[in-house]
């Protein structure tokens, strides 16, 4: 087998050519996938919004508002929903880093009265088979239709009304924590949301 001599010049040129070609190839593929990537991300968001909000006819992603909050370093995303120019609810992204493995992000849809329409888990790294059950219907259904004013948003172990997941109390607490955060922000901004469209 004829291997090339390892001269300094030869090594330089061959590595340069390889990096050049791979750089060009990567740039090309990046150009190809940048559109579908953004679309996939948007679709995911829109699907989540459709799940958590009542019927709406505006584009909540376009009407998105960022609200500053003193509880989180980042601002909170608020997606208002309107039907025939009337405010029918808003979806908020609630975050907490108190999950068993850090960050938990959930999207919660509220009716104007403050009642929870639905909840969707966007991002979590909880223990598979235990904490990940927070995504399942069985856990989420207990939050549907509740008003946090009259509902004690704490797990039963802490004297609240929430049935915690078996073996995943910390994940359940994190879920409640994120919900509470979203609710507080919703109440704080409820007035301005109703006005904004009119």
Partner 1 sequence: MAEILNQKQNFLKGIVKENPIFVMLLGMCPTLGVTSSAFNGLGMGVATMFVLIMSNLVVSLVKNQIPAKVRIPAFIIIIASFVTIVEMILEAFVPFLYEQLGIFIPLIVVNCIILGRAEAFASKNNVISSIIDAIGMGLGFVLALTVLGAVREILGSGSLFGFKFVSEDASTFILFILPPGAFIALAYLTVLFNKITSKTT
| Residues in touch with partner 1 (CB under 8 A) | 1-7, 10-11, 14-15, 18-19, 22, 25-26, 29-30, 33, 36-37, 40-41, 44, 127-130, 138, 167
Strands (E) across the chain are located at 65-67, 76-83, 86-99, 102-110, 116-124
When the beta carbons of 39 and 71 are compared against partner 1, the nearer one is 39
**In the complex, minimum distance from the CB of residue 47 to partner 1, in angstroms, rounded to a whole number:** 11
**In the complex, minimum distance from the CB of residue 11 to partner 1, in angstroms, rounded to a whole number:** 5
When the beta carbons of 129 and 191 are compared against partner 1, the nearer one is 129
User: 10 Å Cβ neighbour count for 182?
Assistant: 28
SS (H, E, C) 43-76: HHHHHHHHHHCCCCCCCCCCCCEEECCCCCCCCE
When the beta carbons of 51 and 67 are compared against partner 1, the nearer one is 51
When the beta carbons of 20 and 66 are compared against partner 1, the nearer one is 20
When the beta carbons of 61 and 66 are compared against partner 1, the nearer one is 61
**In the complex, minimum distance from the CB of residue 157 to partner 1, in angstroms, rounded to a whole number:** 20
Residue (of 107, 188, 112) closest to 143 by Cα position: 107
**In the complex, minimum distance from the CB of residue 64 to partner 1, in angstroms, rounded to a whole number:** 20
**In the complex, minimum distance from the CB of residue 91 to partner 1, in angstroms, rounded to a whole number:** 20
Beta bridge partners of 89: 81
Across the chain, how many H-helices and E-strands are there? 3, 5
**Start-end of H helices in 101-168:** 137-140
């Amino acid at each position: 087998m004829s291997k090339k001599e390892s001269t300094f010049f030869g090594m330089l040129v061959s590595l340069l050519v390889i990096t050049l070609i791979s750089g060009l190839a990567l740039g090309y593929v990046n150009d190809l996938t940048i559109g579908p990537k953004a679309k996939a991300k948007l679709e995911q968001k829109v699907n989540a919004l459709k799940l958590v909000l009542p019927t709406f006819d505006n584009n909540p992603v376009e009407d998105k508002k960022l609200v500053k909050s003193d509880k989180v370093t980042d601002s909170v995303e608020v997606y208002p929903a309107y039907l025939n120019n009337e405010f029918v609810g808003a979806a908020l992204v609630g975050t907490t880093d108190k999950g068993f493995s850090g960050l938990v992000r959930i999207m919660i849809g509220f009716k104007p009265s403050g009642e929870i329409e639905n909840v969707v888990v966007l991002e979590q790294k909880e223990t598979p088979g235990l904490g990940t059950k927070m995504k399942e219907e069985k856990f989420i259904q207990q939050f549907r239709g509740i008003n946090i004013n009259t509902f004690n948003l704490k797990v039963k172990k802490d004297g609240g009304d929430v049935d915690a997941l078996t073996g995943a109390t910390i994940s359940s607490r994190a879920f409640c924590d994120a919900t509470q955060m979203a609710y507080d922000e919703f109440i704080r901004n409820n007035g301005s949301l109703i006005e904004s469209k009119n």
